[in-house]
């Protein structure tokens, strides 16, 4: 028998067990639901160290045959088959272990943020205008006018800094209508966003983020280890500070100094391999992005000491971007300039801009990809495996 606690061996002995039990269990299809009462006895041969000798067996529901997907079979199934029959797939202990890891990571993040004075908030997911615009917005009908599913809580978390909340975070769904069909992308994903007021610069953000990440991983390792989850031993052990690698250095490593083009997935893998070899750490920051690379986001702030650079950074884990952030532009005049330069109509952002007219402190924050991080920690080849019921450009069911 298998339940949330594991697998229990039910033992029948001829001559002592009810003969009807042999017939019942011999004919019962796999994955049926049963209730068994009996006498437990210690056993060195069973997986959990105990056998159950039944005195009563009740069939709650019989499973249909054949099963569309094996649960205990050693022969694997392709991802489409697994996702088409996801409930059966989720019964596998190895799959459940992924979501125990995910739950521990989310709990760890919440604990770490609250300990640092952050307030958990919830922002709207139906918007009149996206934070970044473009073709990656999902349009929906909102009564008599169009609306869009939120790509991120970016504008709202900045507004909350203006409201005096000072430190906020949110763990919530986000949506991007990207036509990507890769192992790194989803159309519905979980974003962890944080924003901090009264910062002196990007380094305030980086030191806070790395401390949160390290505490979260430590918490997850302890939580999973106590439960015997096999993924506990694979979680990384790292220390702060994480290396800070300037964007220009990365471009030089890639053999294209001064190119000022954004880093692709293969570029990140090359940089990650070099960091692992030379610095021996899975976590590192890429810093000092040129404005030509990162200022497409109108809310991004320039570095005052060098207007050709932003204070933006990416947090990478083993050659995969898991977070991106930096100081925001907190001056309304410059914010309007950025909107115009990006081709945005400021009239669509008046509710957002109002927060900057009545006193906005210097602030910044980041967005963190929970699904990517969990998939990477669990050693999964495809980010879809880190979601209970994944959504991509082709899948809307189950």
pLDDT in tens, 335-346: 999 889 888 889
Q: Please, which pLDDT band fits residue 131 given cuts at 50, 70 and 90? A: low
pLDDT for 259 beyond 90: no
321 catalytic residue (yes or no): yes
Of these residues, 85, 110, 185, 244, which one is catalytic?
Answer: 185
What's the pLDDT at 295? 65
Same domain, 48 and 191: no
Of these residues, 82, 102, 167, 176, which one is catalytic?
Answer: 176
Percent of the chain with pLDDT over 70: 97
Same domain, 34 and 138: no
**Which residues partner with 168 through β-bridges?**
119, 195
Of these residues, 100, 166, 178, 337, which one is catalytic?
Answer: 178
Mean pLDDT lowest for which of 47-51, 306-310, 368-372? 306-310
Question: CA 142: distance to chain centroid?
Answer: 28
Q: Are 390 and 178 contacting, i.e. CB atoms less than 8 angstroms apart?
A: no
The CA dihedral of 28, 29, 33, 34, to the nearest 10 degrees, is 20
CATH number at 56 reads 2.40.50.140
109 part of a folded domain = yes
Taking residues 5-9, report their average pLDDT. Answer: 88
Q: Which domain holds residue 38?
A: 2-66
Same domain, 270 and 314: yes
Mean of the per-residue pLDDT values of the chain: 93
84 part of a folded domain = no
213 part of a folded domain = yes
Same domain, 47 and 162: no
The 3-state DSSP class for residue 2 equals strand
Which of 66, 82, 117 lies at the terminal end of a domain, its last residue?
Answer: 66
398 part of a folded domain = no
The predicted-structure confidence for 205-231, as pLDDT tens digits, reads as follows 999 999 999 999 999 999 999 999 999
373 part of a folded domain = yes
Taking residues 35-63, report their average pLDDT. Answer: 92
Of these residues, 316, 324, 329, 385, which one is catalytic?
Answer: 324
Specify the DSSP class assigned to residue 385.
G
Q: Please, which pLDDT band fits residue 237 given cuts at 50, 70 and 90? A: very high
CA angle, 163 as apex, 158 and 168 as ends, to 5°?
A: 55
Q: Please, which pLDDT band fits residue 95 given cuts at 50, 70 and 90? A: very high
User: Where does residue 169 fall: left (phi above 0), alpha (psi -120 to 50 degrees), or beta otherwise?
Assistant: beta
Of these residues, 110, 184, 218, 391, which one is catalytic?
Answer: 184
CATH number at 116 reads 3.30.930.10
372 catalytic residue (yes or no): yes
Same domain, 232 and 107: yes
184 catalytic residue (yes or no): yes
16 catalytic residue (yes or no): no
21 part of a folded domain = yes
Q: Please, which pLDDT band fits residue 47 given cuts at 50, 70 and 90? A: confident
Same domain, 163 and 50: no
Percent of the chain with pLDDT over 90: 78
What's the pLDDT at 75? 75
Of these residues, 372, 376, 385, 387, which one is catalytic?
Answer: 372
Same domain, 136 and 38: no
Tally the domains of the chain.
2
206 catalytic residue (yes or no): no
100 catalytic residue (yes or no): no
133 part of a folded domain = yes
Q: Which residue, 270, 278, 243, 275, is CA-closest to 254?
A: 270
The predicted-structure confidence for 149-166, as pLDDT tens digits, reads as follows 999 999 999 999 999 999
394 part of a folded domain = no
Same domain, 239 and 371: yes
Long-range contacts of 339-346 (CB under 8 A, 24+ apart): 339/298, 341/298, 342/133, 342/296, 342/298, 343/133, 344/133, 344/298
Same domain, 164 and 20: no
What's the pLDDT at 158? 97
Same domain, 204 and 239: yes
Same domain, 98 and 24: no
The predicted-structure confidence for 266-292, as pLDDT tens digits, reads as follows 999 999 999 999 999 999 999 999 888
DSSP string covering 238-269 = --SSPPEEEHHHHHHHTT-TT------HHHHH
102 catalytic residue (yes or no): no
Which comes out higher in pLDDT, residue 180 or 38?
38
Mean pLDDT lowest for which of 26-40, 68-82, 214-228, 381-395? 68-82
Q: Which residue, 185, 35, 167, 156, is CA-closest to 114?
A: 167
Same domain, 298 and 150: yes
């Amino acid at each position: 028998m298998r339940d949330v606690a594991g697998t229990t061996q039910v033992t029948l002995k001829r001559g002592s067990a009810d003969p009807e039990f042999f017939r019942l269990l011999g004919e019962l299809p796999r994955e049926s639901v049963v209730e068994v009462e009996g006498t437990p006895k210690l056993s060195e041969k069973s997986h959990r160290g105990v056998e159950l000798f039944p005195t009563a067996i009740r069939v709650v529901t019989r499973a249909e045959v054949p099963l569309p997907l094996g649960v205990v079979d050693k022969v694997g199934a392709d991802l489409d088959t697994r996702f088409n029959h996801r409930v059966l797939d989720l019964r596998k202990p190895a799959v459940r272990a992924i979501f125990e890891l995910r739950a521990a990571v989310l709990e760890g993040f919440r604990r770490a943020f609250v300990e640092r004075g952050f307030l958990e908030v919830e922002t709207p997911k139906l918007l009149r205008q996206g934070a970044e615009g473009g073709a990656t917005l999902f349009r929906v009908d909102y009564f008599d006018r169009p609306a869009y599913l939120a790509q991120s809580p970016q504008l709202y978390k900045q507004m909350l800094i203006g409201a005096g909340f000072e430190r906020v975070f949110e763990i919530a769904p986000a949506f991007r209508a990207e036509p990507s069909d890769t192992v790194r992308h989803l159309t519905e994903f979980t974003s962890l966003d944080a924003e901090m007021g009264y910062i002196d610069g990007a380094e305030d953000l980086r030191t806070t983020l790395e401390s949160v990440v390290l505490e979260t991983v430590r918490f997850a390792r302890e939580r999973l280890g106590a439960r015997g989850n096999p993924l506990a031993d694979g979680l990384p052990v790292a220390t702060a500070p994480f290396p800070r690698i300037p964007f220009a250095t990365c471009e030089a490593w890639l053999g294209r100094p001064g190119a000022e083009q954004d880093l692709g997935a293969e570029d990140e893998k090359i940089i990650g391999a070099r960091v692992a070899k030379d610095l021996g750490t899975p976590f590192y920051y890429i810093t000092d992005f040129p404005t030509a690379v990162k200022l497409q986001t109108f809310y991004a702030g320039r570095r005052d000491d060098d207007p050709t650079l932003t204070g933006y950074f990416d947090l990478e884990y083993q050659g995969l971007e898991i977070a991106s952030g930096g100081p925001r532009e907190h001056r309304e005049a410059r914010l309007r300039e950025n909107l115009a330069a990006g081709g945005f109509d400021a009239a669509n952002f008046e509710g957002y801009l109002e927060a900057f007219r009545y006193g906005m402190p210097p602030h910044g924050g980041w967005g963190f990809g929970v699904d990517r991080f969990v998939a990477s920690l669990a050693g999964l080849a495809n980010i879809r495996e880190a979601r209970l019921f994944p959504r991509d450009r082709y899948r809307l069911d189950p």
